[in-house]
Structure 1
Amino acid sequence: MKKYIMGIDIGGTKCAVLLGRAQGDADDIIIDKLRFETRVGRGWRAVTEELLDNVEEIIKKNALSPEDILCAGISCGGPLDSRRGVILAPPNLPDWECVPIVDMIEERFGFDAYLQNDANACALAEWKFGAGKGLRNMIFLTFGTGMGAGLILDGKLYSGTNDMAGEVGHMRIAADGPIGYGKRGSFEGFCSGGGIGRLAQEMARKTLENGGSTLMCKTAEDIENITAKSAAEAAENGDETAKEVYRICGEKLGEGLAILADILDPQAIIIGSIFARSGHLLKDSMEKALHREALSQTAGCRIIPAGLGEKIGDLASLGIALDAAANGGKA
């Protein structure tokens, strides 16, 4: 029986190759890891060649052969076609148009490979190892640079007809508001790092124009430097404008959660990144909006911070491999 799996994480800044056990938990599944800087400017062929060389290196380094590997999971930002195993054109990977990454790995090494976007990969990681362990119906929300979802429904990852399930950042939450996913007032516009930063800048500008002050910036010239993180730090220190930014974002988060809860009726919605760090600034207004907007039967779903922390990036690609193996692999 093959005892090993591979994980491959492709990012705009760094890439990672992981060797893992085909069975294990978050603390002991990873055997070894290699990382390198993506340096996207050199083109996808150079990056994928280094990626494949790293796969070969980590196998040899651990005295294994490709025949010992059950399968590999690949995590990459979308858009992509998981069924064909093709990376289409991620914003953080310029020039990566129609890159057949799965075929490249399978042809060189002989074991099966599976591709998922990072939201789906993180959903699998939290489901297999983290806050969603043991659940049959859960939603994972990224709530980081953007807002996307991975859906575990009836004990399986759900990707939809066109591989587009979970693009919740595109939902319109308000007629007006910060722009996210190309749409003003979208879920991503209010509930993402960029969206919170833009809202904080707008509200800081109004505060200064009205003769007030805010810890987020000393002068109007500093407004463009405000980020979600600096706004959270100001809110932590009692700044009223920053606290209002997070109150608004929490309310819109709750409204978005209510829509998801009513449509999908999950046991839990697990939220990563910003919520895991700053959930206490969002929680009160989020819960009020959720219970105001959702049906009483669905409003009781648990809202949980992601449990894997910094480990989620490594475990995401391995989670893809484990899920594929559990579902019988390729026919």
Structure 2
Amino acid sequence: MMDQTHSKEPKAFYVGLDIGGTKCAIVLGDGNFNIYEKVFFETKVERGPTAILDEFKQHIHRIFEKYDRKKLIKIGISCGGPLSSKMGLIKSPPNLPGWDDIPIVEILEEEFGVRVALQNDANACALAEWMMGAGVGTENMIFLTFGTGMGAGLILNGKIYSGTNDLGGEVGHLRLADDGPIGFGKAGSFEGFCSGGGIAQLAKSAVEHKLKNNNTVRFCSSLEDIDTITAKSVFTAAQIGDQVALEIVKISAVYLGKALAILIDTLNPECIVIGSIYARNEALLKPLVYEVLEKEAIHAALEVCRILPAKLGDKIGDYAALGVAMQ
């Protein structure tokens, strides 16, 4: 599917590739994030990496029938990890079976004759929010995904920080309690308490306990329906004042506050930008989070740090890979 957004050709442009387990995208844009062309296609992972990369190449060559390829400055790639940004390798991400040590940077540099940069998707989203979203104008920013999982992208001293082998920012693995919902393969982790899957686990165990003790739960009336509970259904119920849902939201918010305090005390950022679940439910979560932060964080560090909802919403994927190309 092709979706053109600007008709006039830019003087120079970047191409961003977003590689997902379900969907892939190609975006052509300029240095001001004006997007001129977008192409989507289904990943169909069972085809394997060669076929998927061939499809990327075909779409890019087709775009160059319309735009002068001599104006291409650089290609940026956003992809789920694990990967090596330094070596340009995608290293067996769980959502891309068969992508084992794929030298994607080398493959695309040979094909298109320009520099190519690779970053994991949380870092790519951090770059987008930093360059044109909620974090514009900051030197030190943390981006937290808070969606299906809990990942982070760290902008420190005006640069993306990937760590020694691209594991900088794996904050979802932090243990916040001895036990609790499982996230990142660890019970009681930050991702366990603060992710779509983790909140659903929290809710299922709380609702099961209530129902077995003959309490009424409005958003889930029977044990047979427990598996239908999602983070979305919990927050929808909490928005209209459901007490059980509000209890579950409070648990997640308390642990979010504790983790944010650790990040504020350790990295002293100017702002922490939080996506998905937080961005959609800021009014509910923010007061609960700040209650914890006031107790837990170094006061002088908290004073200079703003907690902000991500600004780019569903468009973040369009801008993320372009941000990688512009770095």
CA shift digits 1:155-196 (9 cap, x unpaired): 111111122100000000111110000111000000011001
- 1:283-302 matches, within 5 Å, as 283-300=286-303, 301-302=305-306
1:215 offset after TM fit, Å?
A: 2.4
1:216 offset after TM fit, Å?
A: 2.5
1:143 offset after TM fit, Å?
A: 0.5
1:321 aligns with 2:322: no
1:68 aligns with 2:59: no
4+ residue runs over 6 A deviation: none
What amino acid is aligned across from residue 169 of structure 1 in structure 2? G
Question: Given the two structures, how large is their TM-score scaled by the length of structure 2?
Answer: 0.95
- 1:63-212 matches, within 5 Å, as 63-65=67-69, 67-212=70-215
Q: Which residue of 1 aligns with 2:35?
A: 30
Q: Which residue of 2 aligns with 1:226?
A: 229
- Counterparts of 1:174 and 1:83 in 2: how far apart (Å)? 34
Q: Which residue of 2 aligns with 1:308?
A: 312
Match of 2:52 among 35, 40, 47: 47
Unaligned runs of 5+ in 2: 1-9
What amino acid is aligned across from residue 302 of structure 2 in structure 1? A
- Counterparts of 2:251 and 2:58 in 1: how far apart (Å)? 47
Residue aligned with 1:298, SS: helix
Match of 1:280 among 280, 283, 302: 283
- Counterparts of 1:178 and 1:40 in 2: how far apart (Å)? 29
- Counterparts of 1:312 and 1:43 in 2: how far apart (Å)? 26
Residue aligned with 1:216, SS: coil
- Counterparts of 2:76 and 2:90 in 1: how far apart (Å)? 14
- The question of whether the paired residues in 2 share the 8 Å contact of 1:138 and 1:270 is answered with yes
- Counterparts of 1:256 and 1:224 in 2: how far apart (Å)? 28
- Counterparts of 1:264 and 1:92 in 2: how far apart (Å)? 30
CA shift digits 1:280-311 (9 cap, x unpaired): 22222211111111111112211000011111
Q: Which residue of 2 aligns with 1:328?
A: none
Residue aligned with 2:64, SS: helix
- Counterparts of 2:302 and 2:173 in 1: how far apart (Å)? 22
Residue aligned with 2:300, SS: coil
- The question of whether the paired residues in 2 share the 8 Å contact of 1:15 and 1:37 is answered with yes
- Percent identity among equivalent residues? 54
What amino acid is aligned across from residue 314 of structure 1 in structure 2? D
1:246 aligns with 2:249: yes
1:6 aligns with 2:10: no
What amino acid is aligned across from residue 32 of structure 2 in structure 1? G
- Counterparts of 1:11 and 1:139 in 2: how far apart (Å)? 23
What amino acid is aligned across from residue 14 of structure 1 in structure 2? K
Residue aligned with 1:52, SS: helix
Unaligned runs of 5+ in 1: 324-331
Q: Which residue of 2 aligns with 1:329?
A: none
Question: Given the two structures, how large is their TM-score scaled by the length of structure 1?
Answer: 0.94
What amino acid is aligned across from residue 46 of structure 2 in structure 1? G
CA shift digits 1:33-92 (9 cap, x unpaired): 1110001111111111111111111122x2312x32100110000110011111101111
CA shift digits 1:244-276 (9 cap, x unpaired): 110010000000000000000000000001100
- Counterparts of 2:228 and 2:292 in 1: how far apart (Å)? 30
**CA RMSD across the alignment:** 1.2
- Counterparts of 1:125 and 1:95 in 2: how far apart (Å)? 29
What amino acid is aligned across from residue 308 of structure 2 in structure 1? I
1:2 offset after TM fit, Å?
A: 6.6
- Counterparts of 1:176 and 1:63 in 2: how far apart (Å)? 55
Q: What is the total number of aligned residue pairs between the two structures?
A: 317
